[in-house]
Copies of this chain bind each other. A is one copy, B any other.
Amino acid sequence: MPAERRASIVGTGLIGASVALALREQGWTVSGTDADGVRTREALAAGVIDAVGLDPDADLVVVAVPVSSVVDAARDALVGCPKATVTDVGSVKAPIVTAVNDSRFVGGHPMAGSEHDGLKGADANLFQGATWVLTPTEMTETARYAALRATISSIGADVVELPPERHDALVALVSHVPHLTAATLMGIAASSAEEHATLLRLAAGGFRDMTRIAAGHPAIWPDICAENRDAIVAGLDALLAALADVRLAVADSDRPELLRRLELARAARINLPARVAQADELVEVRIPVPDRAGVLAEVTTLAGELDVNIVDLEIAHSVEGDRGVLIVTIDAQAADRVCDALTSRGYRPAAVPIGR
């Protein structure tokens, strides 16, 4: 019989409570604590944690508090749990790893979220298939890191190892700078207020897709911007420089340069990996759908009848116009079968190999 494994969770919000549930499913004994005593008691009452408090015998402590409080909480955990490996889930890593500066601490960042905040969204399966970045340094004890990595994998996450600074630079590029840019674009459009209604009627699907993230709750962003300041400023500088180049190409009507940039971006976007491996054996079937609700039930049911697995499904919009396009990702070998069946029902599907 394996030795009992004990963990403590600091912060019983969405991520902390989900980690607690996932670890308990793996047989861990999990205690938890939250700066808000009501939340701690709720977590206990809901069966998310086995006990209240920081466990002095813990093998693992997961600090799941807001980014600005991680360093203090991690230090407390290192003191209170003398044999534990301590990790966190903050979305910024270098400032935290540098400040904590301990061989038992490994920075972490699970790329997972939920529509629900707090305990209500807690889910033992939240990390299934999610990318979870760990940022060990030269100081990290090898055996501890290997054990932590195995634990994270055991709850379903794919571990990606990165130096803390590289993590921060990369998430600035793919998350923080895009978010600020979406909000800025939306702000500029909104400030054309005299014709707001008209403007928004002209805002086709591409604009909707592009600004969707700007609808998220802004409360977390000032913290993120403060903590990842240097990487975000560097990312914004890169964007400002590239946009200034684009502006120049437009002003000069430099068609070859514009085409070069757009071709490059298109190739990169098409190569953005799907949420699945083996992308070279999949096709996207693109189905223009004037009335999407009825179509969805029909298409998903049809795939079931044909015994075809829908690997991914999304609704995109044309660059212009409000017509939806249903994009169904399926095995390439099933493409002809599915397209024939759709065509015979009056659809106009187009099969596009992924990675083309």
Cβ B321 vs Cβ A115 within 8 A = no
A285 vs chain B, min Cβ distance (A): 10
Cβ B189 vs Cβ A173 within 8 A = yes
At the interface, yes or no: A112 with Cβ under 8 Å from chain B? yes
- CB within 8 Å for A236 and B247 given contacts A116-B288, A273-B200, A313-B293: yes
From A25-33, A51-59, A144-152, A237-245, give the one contacting chain B.
A237-245
Choose from B121, B261, B263, B318 the contact partner of A115 (Cβ within 8 Å): B318
Q: Mark A334-352, 1 if CB is under 8 A from B, else 0.
A: 0000000000000010100
Cβ B325 vs Cβ A309 within 8 A = no
**A244 partner residues in chain B, CB cutoff 8 A:** 240
At the interface, yes or no: A210 with Cβ under 8 Å from chain B? yes
A90 vs chain B, min Cβ distance (A): 12
Cβ B226 vs Cβ A255 within 8 A = yes
A213 vs chain B, min Cβ distance (A): 4
- CB within 8 Å for A323 and B242 given contacts A177-B185, A216-B266, A312-B292: no
State which residues 185-219 of A face B: CB under 8 Å. Answer: 185-190, 192, 195, 197-204, 206-219
Q: How far is the CA of A175 from the CA of B170 in the complex (A)?
A: 27
At the interface, yes or no: A250 with Cβ under 8 Å from chain B? yes
Cβ B265 vs Cβ A186 within 8 A = yes
A286 vs chain B, min Cβ distance (A): 5
Cβ A199 vs Cβ B184 within 8 A = no
- CB within 8 Å for A202 and B246 given contacts A218-B263, A226-B255, A266-B218: no
Q: Mark A241-265, 1 if CB is under 8 A from B, else 0.
A: 0111011011101010011011111
Q: How far is the CA of A126 from the CA of B236 in the complex (A)?
A: 40
At the interface, yes or no: A69 with Cβ under 8 Å from chain B? no
Choose from B199, B222, B238, B293 the contact partner of A174 (Cβ within 8 Å): B199
At the interface, yes or no: A160 with Cβ under 8 Å from chain B? yes
- CB within 8 Å for A128 and B202 given contacts A211-B269, A215-B269, A266-B218: no
Cβ B293 vs Cβ A216 within 8 A = no
Choose from B126, B293, B310, B348 the contact partner of A293 (Cβ within 8 Å): B310
Choose from B170, B195, B325 the contact partner of A199 (Cβ within 8 Å): B170
At the interface, yes or no: A38 with Cβ under 8 Å from chain B? no
Q: Mark A110-135, 1 if CB is under 8 A from B, else 0.
A: 11111110001101011011110100
Q: Mark A174-185, 1 if CB is under 8 A from B, else 0.
A: 110111111111
Q: Mark A34-58, 1 if CB is under 8 A from B, else 0.
A: 0000000000000000000000000
A: which residues have CB within 8 A of B? Answer: 91, 110-116, 120-121, 123, 125-126, 128-131, 133, 158, 160, 162, 166, 169-171, 173-175, 177-190, 192, 195, 197-204, 206-219, 221-223, 225-226, 229, 232-233, 235-240, 242-244, 246-247, 249-251, 253, 255, 258-259, 261-273, 275, 286-288, 290, 292-293, 296-297, 300-301, 303-304, 309-316, 318-323, 325, 348, 350
| 7 nearest CB pairs, A to B | A218-B262, A190-B268, A293-B310, A183-B265, A113-B318, A297-B300, A222-B255
24 A-B pairs, CB-CB below 8 angstroms? A111-B322, A130-B321, A131-B201, A131-B322, A174-B207, A175-B319, A179-B206, A180-B246, A181-B181, A182-B206, A183-B261, A209-B213, A215-B266, A218-B263, A218-B266, A221-B262, A223-B255, A225-B253, A225-B255, A240-B240, A240-B244, A293-B303, A297-B300, A315-B315
